[in-house]
Chains A and B, each alone.
Chain A
Amino acid sequence: MALGHERFFEDVSIGEEIPGLEKGPMTTAHLMRWSAAMENWHKIHYDRPFAIGHDKLPDLLINGSLKQQFVMQLLADWAGPGGWVWKVGFQFRAMNLVGETLQIWGKVVAKRETPDYGLIDIELGILNDAAKESTPGTATLALPYRNGKALPYPFVAPAA
């Protein structure tokens, strides 16, 4: 998150694309480092003979739990230090395999005003080298108004 970067609700346009984030190529070292950091010893992420020979997978899988981190980084960086990523949802529709480079993307699809801050709805996903989508999702971010007050922290959801 860049120091001093600030984004306001009024700055955002429907249809606007969020600058993409690239991760990779994702090597076995990346996957092992993530498995160790979260203490997830599922072999399909680091034991190639097991992944291919036992679980009949095409190769080692990039963890869904790692992919969702990249989406969050994209959103939080774009929202800036004055914004807040309130909701995010994913579906893991397709596999991403070791060796792939991931392109994380997002696009503004709606804006809503509440009394205290604005809400931005985003469609998002992750593309591999072949431009195949694996992780479609949505998110809702809160941004302050240019002449409004700072967002509440802890975050307070708008009244339903």
Chain B
Amino acid sequence: MSELSEALKPYIGLESHTDTACDVVERGAVRRYAQAIMNEDPIFSVACENNKRYGGPVTPPFFPTHLFRRPFGVPDPIQNNAHDPDFDGIVAATISGLPELAPLKGYALLNGGSELEFYRYPLHGETISMKSRYADIVEKQTSKGLIILVVIESEYRNEKNDLLIRVRRTQIRRK
């Protein structure tokens, strides 16, 4: 095992705290989201035959994964970086709650894809929480050099602890 793998090994299995989204599932937010994805299915807006089994209007399936946003009172990264021409605009919306992988400081990050399992759609008014863990971290030699595959598994639940979605995201880290 390489020195880098040894340094990364303690992170495997590490869990985040449970993070609760700062807003409940709001009808207006669902409307903007549905319009933005160009899918104004009535199941997202009104009680109808097709959402009867879900218990009423629900969100689009991926909605919970985009609900973790900057709450009131948290420093504004956009204003704080307004004079930085290199600021790329990436803010906390994608944070998993896990600690940074210190041995990979300076490594670029690419989205390697994701796998999702769906169990339940959130209803309007529900509160969503998320918990993540480093499921795996492996080194791989490729034709373009060494890459590190970081697999993060996250679960999204409502306030009754019902499982909504399980996500496995693969990040590609390389120098």
Query: Chain A, 31-64, contact with B by CB distance < 8 Å: what is the 0/1 string?
Result: 0011011111111100100100011000000001
Is the C-beta of B107 less than 8 angstroms from some C-beta in chain A?
no
Q: Is there an interface contact between B115 and A88, defined as CB atoms closer than 8 Å?
A: yes
Is the C-beta of A65 less than 8 angstroms from some C-beta in chain B?
yes
Chain B hits for A23, CB < 8 A? 38
With both beta carbons as reference points, the residue of chain A lying nearest to B29 in the complex is identified as A37
Q: Contact partner of B118 among A4, A69, A84, CB < 8 A?
A: A84
Q: Is there an interface contact between A43 and B37, defined as CB atoms closer than 8 Å?
A: no
Q: Is there an interface contact between A40 and B93, defined as CB atoms closer than 8 Å?
A: yes
Tell me the minimal C-beta distance from A56 to chain B in angstroms.
Answer: 12
Q: Is there an interface contact between B62 and A65, defined as CB atoms closer than 8 Å?
A: yes
Which chain A residues numbered 1 to 15 have a C-beta less than 8 Å away from chain B?
A: 1, 3-4
How many chain B residues have a CB neighbour from A under 8 Å? Answer: 43
With both beta carbons as reference points, the residue of chain A lying nearest to B164 in the complex is identified as A154
With both beta carbons as reference points, the residue of chain B lying nearest to A92 in the complex is identified as B111
Which chain B residues numbered 53 to 90 have a C-beta less than 8 Å away from chain A?
A: 53-54, 60-62, 66, 69-70, 78, 85-86, 88-90
Q: Is there an interface contact between B118 and A43, defined as CB atoms closer than 8 Å?
A: no
Is the C-beta of B36 less than 8 angstroms from some C-beta in chain A?
yes
Is the C-beta of B32 less than 8 angstroms from some C-beta in chain A?
yes
Is the C-beta of B125 less than 8 angstroms from some C-beta in chain A?
no
| CA A87 to CA B93, docked complex, whole Å | 23
Which chain B residues numbered 5 to 47 have a C-beta less than 8 Å away from chain A?
A: 29, 32-33, 35-39, 41-43
Q: Is there an interface contact between B93 and A86, defined as CB atoms closer than 8 Å?
A: no
Q: Is there an interface contact between B119 and A154, defined as CB atoms closer than 8 Å?
A: yes
Q: Is there an interface contact between B120 and A154, defined as CB atoms closer than 8 Å?
A: yes
Q: Is there an interface contact between A87 and B116, defined as CB atoms closer than 8 Å?
A: yes
With both beta carbons as reference points, the residue of chain A lying nearest to B68 in the complex is identified as A39
Is the C-beta of B99 less than 8 angstroms from some C-beta in chain A?
no
Q: Is there an interface contact between A3 and B48, defined as CB atoms closer than 8 Å?
A: yes
Q: Is there an interface contact between B112 and A91, defined as CB atoms closer than 8 Å?
A: yes
Is the C-beta of B113 less than 8 angstroms from some C-beta in chain A?
yes
| CA A55 to CA B89, docked complex, whole Å | 12
Query: Chain A, 121-160, contact with B by CB distance < 8 Å: what is the 0/1 string?
Result: 0000000000000000100000000000010011101000
Q: Is there an interface contact between A43 and B49, defined as CB atoms closer than 8 Å?
A: no
Is the C-beta of B117 less than 8 angstroms from some C-beta in chain A?
yes
Chain A hits for B86, CB < 8 A? 54
Q: Is there an interface contact between B89 and A43, defined as CB atoms closer than 8 Å?
A: yes
| CA A92 to CA B162, docked complex, whole Å | 30
Is the C-beta of A109 less than 8 angstroms from some C-beta in chain B?
no
Tell me the minimal C-beta distance from A132 to chain B in angstroms.
Answer: 17
| CA A69 to CA B35, docked complex, whole Å | 12
Is the C-beta of A110 less than 8 angstroms from some C-beta in chain B?
no
Chain A hits for B89, CB < 8 A? 41-44, 47, 50
Q: Could you name 20 residue pairs across A and B whose Cβ atoms are closer than 8 Å?
A: A1-B43, A36-B32, A38-B33, A39-B70, A39-B91, A55-B88, A64-B111, A66-B37, A84-B118, A87-B117, A87-B118, A88-B118, A89-B113, A89-B114, A89-B115, A92-B111, A137-B113, A153-B53, A155-B118, A155-B119
